[in-house]
């Protein structure tokens, strides 16, 4: 069973066609009703797929609407006609819609026609306090640079509190808007104004990460996500903490103080460099390594576990899940505890069965509503060696 099927069983007349362009099929519900539906759906998903363990209550999001700190709009030109998705989203802050409206009014004017033809996406990132605009473009030349400069100057002078603007070249016109392969040669990122990094305040310290790097889109849930992972791993000064798919080091820095050592791994160069810079700035003796996390990497590139010293692993892969062989290679390290974070619920059954095959059992299942208004959950599953 797929998780969206379980959601559909709880809502009369639910269809995918009810989903809006922004994936907000549950956004019209009262949030208490949405949480009740998700609790019932994750339990049904667990039962039908005969999974070990029992999901706890879904942890509610402090912000149920207007929470997304990243949003995007596809832009393309049909002959003489600018196509720009101006549909307002209930899940995005109101300030995002104001910025998109401002940019649309600029782009429909003849003066910005070269830029309008070059655009793939307009992306807004940041926090609830500040915003950054990224122009994803399919090509760049002197004329387009001039128009980018003009429109970024207009943003800077506007009352919209846009603290930075950048251009990101994607000749593939990818649907992934920031994750596509960029040109190997020539210009692929242009800083128009403002900082090239974003910042996340974690209370005791802040972490910087690249404007094109991954970060959770629901900033209001990050504290609950960290708290749940901390409870499950229960790190101590005897433990070696391995943080896989660590990004810019969110879990490494939020949890690592309790561990004996910290090693973070992330494939993307800019994010891992941000983690290294944060470690240096915060004077943390943590190690961060760049590499594609596959079976070979785990077997040959990671340092071997130290005999008689416990290792605990946080595994937070992208929505599609781990590469084949990664769970097997990690199980061979015999960590005493693993917190496996699932962004895609449908990836859970196959992964848990693989962990079980290699001698691990489910001890705790904690869903979190990182995506209110949508038929999705983030779920942390804690596993221990049998």
The set of catalytic residues is 343
Contact 342, 381 (CB under 8 A): yes
Q: How far is 267 from 262, CA to CA, in rounded Å?
A: 17
CA distance 108 to 322: 43
- Residues with Cβ within 8 Å of residue 248, at least 6 apart in sequence: 207, 208, 209, 210, 213, 215, 266, 271, 272, 274, 275, 278
Backbone angles phi, psi at 171, to 5 degrees: -70, -15
CA atoms within 13 A on the CB side of 328: 7
**Measured between alpha carbons, how far is residue 281 from residues 253, 274, 284, 380 in Å?**
12, 10, 8, 30
Query: Which residue from 127, 150, 300 is spatially nearest to 215, judged by alpha carbons?
Result: 127
Alpha helices (runs of H) in 158-305, residue ranges in sequence order: 222-233, 250-255, 269-281, 295-300
Q: Encoding tokens for residue 162?
A: 């846009």
Dist. CA 322–CA 43, nearest whole Å: 24
Inter-residue contact 370 to 218 (CB < 8 Å)? yes
CB count within 10 Å of CB 88 equals 11
- End-to-end C-alpha distance for the chain, whole angstroms: 27
Q: In this structure, what are the phi and psi dihedrals at residue 142, rounded to the nearest 5 degrees?
A: -60, -40
Measured in degrees and rounded to the nearest 5, phi and psi for residue 371 equal -130, 60
Q: What is the DSSP letter of 294?
A: S
- SS3 state at 72: strand
């Amino acid at each position: 069973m797929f998780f969206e099927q379980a959601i559909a069983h709880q809502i009369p007349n639910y269809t995918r066609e009810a989903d809006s362009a922004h994936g907000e099929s549950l956004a019209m519900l009262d949030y208490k009703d949405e949480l009740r539906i998700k609790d019932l759906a994750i339990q049904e998903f667990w039962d039908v797929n005969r999974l070990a363990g029992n999901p706890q209550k879904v942890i509610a999001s402090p912000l149920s609407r207007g929470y997304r700190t990243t949003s995007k709009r596809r832009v393309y030109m049909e002959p003489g006609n600018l196509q720009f998705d101006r549909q307002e989203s209930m899940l995005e802050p109101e300030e995002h819609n104001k910025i998109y409206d401002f940019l649309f009014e600029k782009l429909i004017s003849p003066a910005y026609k070269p830029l309008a033809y070059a655009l793939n996406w307009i992306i807004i990132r940041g926090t609830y306090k500040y915003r950054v605009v990224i122009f994803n473009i399919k090509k760049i030349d002197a004329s387009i640079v001039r128009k980018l400069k003009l429109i970024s100057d207009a943003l800077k002078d506007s009352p919209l509190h846009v603290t930075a603007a950048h251009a990101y070249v994607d000749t593939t016109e990818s649907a992934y808007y920031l994750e596509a392969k960029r040109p190997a040669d020539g210009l692929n990122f242009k800083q128009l104004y403002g900082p090239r990094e974003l910042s996340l305040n974690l209370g005791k310290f802040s972490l910087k990460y690249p404007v094109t790097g991954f970060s959770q889109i629901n900033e209001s849930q990050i504290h609950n996500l960290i708290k749940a992972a901390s409870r499950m791993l229960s790190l101590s000064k005897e433990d070696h903490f391995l943080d896989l798919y660590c990004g810019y080091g969110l879990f490494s820095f939020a949890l690592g103080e309790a561990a004996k050592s910290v090693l973070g791994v992330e494939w993307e160069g800019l994010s891992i460099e941000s983690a290294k810079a944060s470690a240096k700035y915060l004077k943390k003796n943590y190690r961060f390594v760049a590499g594609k996390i596959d079976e070979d990497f785990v077997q040959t590139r990671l340092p071997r576990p130290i005999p008689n010293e416990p290792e605990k692993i946080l595994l937070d892969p992208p929505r599609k899940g781990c590469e084949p062989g990664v769970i097997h290679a990690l199980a061979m390290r015999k960590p005493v505890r693993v917190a496996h974070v699932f962004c895609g619920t449908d990836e859970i059954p196959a992964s848990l069965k693989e962990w079980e095959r290699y001698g691990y059992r489910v001890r705790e299942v904690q869903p979190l509503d990182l995506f209110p208004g949508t038929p999705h959950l983030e779920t942390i599953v804690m596993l221990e060696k049998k």
